[in-house]
Amino acid sequence: MSAENSKTAKRGRLLIVSGPSGVGKGTILKALFALEEFPLTLSVSATTRAPRAGELDGADYHFLSKDEFLRLKDKGEFLECFEVFAGGDWYGTLRAPVEELLADGRVVVLEIDVKGAREVLKTYPDALTVFILPPSIETLRQRLEGRRSETPESLQRRLAQAESEIAHCKEYRLRVVNDSVLRAANQLAEFLRVNI
Ligand code: ADP
Ligand code: 5GP
C-alpha cells in the first residue's frame, strides 16, 4: 500500500470465530466466503498437530515441530498461543500477518479457541466475536466421527473440551447454532452487515 493510501485507507477488523472442534466452523466460514460480500481473509494459524489427509502446509495451518513453535513463542511472534487440548498440541496466531492484513483494510478471521479469543481481545477489544454451537453434544459427536479425522483418543479429548468451551459462549457478541450451514452463514453475514 502506498504511504498516501495508508493515511486514508480504512483499517480492517478482526472477526473471532470460536466453537468446539467439529461444530462446523470451517464449513460455515467457507459458505460465508462464498458470498463474496465482505473483504474477508482467513488467518492461517500455526500448530504442532499433524496434518490431516488433504491439509496443506501454509494454507490450512503452518505445521511446525514443537521446537519450532516454542522458539517462535519465545521470540514473541504470537498474538496468542495455547495448548488447546490439555497436554496435547499447541495452536497459535502469528502476529505479523494479522497486523499487515488489518493495515490493508481486511476483515481478518481468526478461528481460535476461547482462551485465544480472550487473549486477542486484550490487544483488539473491538474484535467481533462469534461462537458456533452444535444443536446437541450427540450431533457434535456424529459430526466429529463423520469427518473421520480423529483417533478414538483425540475424539474423546475433543468432546471433553467441547463442554468447557460451550460454557463460555455468553462471552461472545453473537451465538449461532449450526443446525443448517446456510442458515448459520446467513446469520453471520447479517452480523457483519450491521457491525463492519
Ligand atoms: P470445525 O471447523 O468446527 O472443526 P468442520 O467444519 O470441519 O468443523 O465440520 C465438521 C464436520 O461436520 C464436517 O464433516 C462437516 O461437513 C460437518 N458439518 C458441518 N456443519 C454441518 C451441518 N450444519 N449439518 C451437518 N453436518 C455438518
Ligand atoms: P483442529 O485441530 O480441529 O484444526 O482445531 C482444533 C481447535 O483448535 C479449533 O476448534 C480451534 O478452536 C482451535 N484453534 C485453531 N487454531 C488456533 C489458534 O491459532 N489459536 C488458538 N488459541 N486456538 C486455535
CA-closest candidate to residue 117, choices 150, 74, 82? 82
126 C-alpha vs ligand 2 centroid, how far in Å?
21
pLDDT (tens digit per residue) in 110-141: 999 999 999 999 999 999 999 999 999 999 99
**Residue 57 is assigned to a structural domain of this protein:** yes
In whole angstroms, what is the distance from residue 194 CA to residue 48 CA? Answer: 36
Report whether residue 91 contacts ligand 2, using a CB cutoff of 6 Å.
Answer: yes
Among 133, 143, 145, say which to mutate for ligand 1: greatest number of ligand atoms within 8 Å of CB: 143
Which ligand is the nearest neighbour of the Cα of 42? 2
In the 3-class helix/strand/coil scheme, how is the chain assigned residue by residue?
CCHHHHHHCCCCEEEEEECCCCCCHHHHHHHHHHCCCCCEEECCCEECCCCCCCCCECCCEEECCHHHHHHHHHCCCEEEEEECCCCCCEEEEEHHHHHHHHHCCCEEEEECCHHHHHHHHHHCCCCEEEEEECCCHHHHHHHHHHHCCCCHHHHHHHHHHHHHHHCCHHHCCEEEECCCHHHHHHHHHHHHHHHC
Q: Is 94 in the pocket of ligand 2 (CB under 6 A)?
A: no
Q: Confirm whether 2 is domain-assigned.
A: no
Within a domain: 76: yes
What pLDDT is stored for residue 142 in this prediction? 96
pTM score: 0.95
- Asked whether residue 85 carries a pLDDT value surpassing 90, the answer given is no
Residue 4 covered by a domain: no
Return the ligand number nearest the Cα of 114.
2
Query: How many distinct structural domains can be found in the chain?
Result: 1
Domain range for 142: 9-195
Hey, what's the torsion of the CAs at 118, 192, 21, 34, to 10 degrees? Answer: -150
pLDDT recorded at residue 6: 52
- Counting residues of the chain whose pLDDT is more than 70, the rounded percentage is 96
Among all ligands shown, which has an atom nearest to the Cα of 52? Answer: 2
Within a domain: 1: no
**Which amino acid is present at 50?**
A
Ligand 1 closest atom vs CA 179 = 23
Distance between Cα 2 and ligand 1 center (Å): 41
> CATH number of the domain that 52 lies in?
3.40.50.300
In a domain, 114, yes or no: yes
Torsion, Cα of 176, 56, 158, 189 (10° steps):
0
- Regarding the beta carbon of 111 and ligand 2, being less than 6 Å apart is answered yes
Tell me the pLDDT tens digit for each residue of 159-172. Answer: 999 999 999 999 99
**Closest residue to atom 18 of ligand 2, CA basis:** 92
Distance (Å) from CA 76 to ligand 1 centroid: 33
In a domain, 172, yes or no: yes
> Would residue 3 count as lying in a domain?
no
